[in-house]
Amino acid sequence: MPGDFLEFEKDIEELERLIAELENPQRREQARAEGIDLDQRIGQLRLELDQVREKRYRNLNAWEKTLVSRHKARPYTLDYLRLAFDDYIELSGDRLGGNDEAIVGGLARIEGRPVVVIGQQKARDLRERQRRNFGMARAEGFRKALRLAKMAEKFRRPLISFVDTAGAAADLPAEERGVSEAIARNLREFSVLATPVVAVIIGEGGSGGALGMAVADRVLMLEHAIYSVISPEGCAAILWYDKGRAHEAAESLKLTAQCARDLGVVDEVLPEPLGGAHRDPPAMANTLRAALVRQLHALSQAEPGTLVEERYQRLRSAGVWREAESPVSG
């Protein structure tokens, strides 16, 4: 069980620590010697914990969802590839200049169906974070993703893309090697891939780094993931010159999965285990697998040309809005 609690989980933390203390073997042995039954008390506390957690997570605001989406114990792309897929074989390199380890991908099977998978990969310890650049891809990462996407098209395999990044790399090496051009090329090429494409926002869906991997026939999003043109901190710094107002920016950005679904940006929101995906990764992987199998089955019925045309219409309809007419004054 993850031991890192978020800032809004103080009451949950206290209950879990109390339960852990009562379940300590020495404490239980001492209580048994004194004729005290701790099982009933532990059961009551667990019931209270479930109630508190359910109430807390039912009413998360946008900033709290942002914190959940960034939880360091939250499952990453490689976790889902291990839990939800079979026979995963990683493929490396962009065949042009290098191998960006912020992007992973390769061949796999899901419920027996061969697929190509790509995804952004964060990390949990400092050394791994540095190696993967915190999941922020440079140009060669997006080119690797495109190479695998073209492979999926060539061999008529569906493409599944996992999105989880604060944004694309913005350092000098990334700019020197053309990260902006690589993202733009992905936007164009993914839009005309003649094979089914499903994207899943599993954590942070940040800016162009997310868009460069998320052009798809169906976009799924986990319940406590976020999807936004900019991070709340970046937005607050630009608008108010104060990163401390990130919680206000998060509300204004409409970055939650529920907002994205209402705006037509994503097609389906996948429920997470109580307390977030990091509380029960296998359960979350089962939910994800079922959703992917369902979507792939539906998409596989369409001809490649139909897929491309419907994807085009889906992209064209994004952001459409209607302005109400002003009443005519007498």
pLDDT in tens, 205-250: 999 999 999 999 999 999 999 999 999 999 999 999 999 999 999 9
The pLDDT tens digits for 162-206 are 999 999 999 999 999 999 999 999 999 999 999 999 999 999 999
Whether residue 120 contacts residue 103, with contact meaning beta carbons closer than 8 Å, is answered with yes
Confidence of residue 330 (pLDDT cuts 50, 70, 90): low
Q: Provide the token pair at 155.
A: 């061999």
Q: Provide the token pair at 196.
A: 């089914």
Whether residue 213 contacts residue 120, with contact meaning beta carbons closer than 8 Å, is answered with yes
The pLDDT tens digits for 270-288 are 999 999 999 999 999 999 9
Which pLDDT value is given to residue 3?
Answer: 57
Burial of 317 (0-12, 13-18, 19+ CB in 10 A): exposed
3-state secondary structure of 35: coil
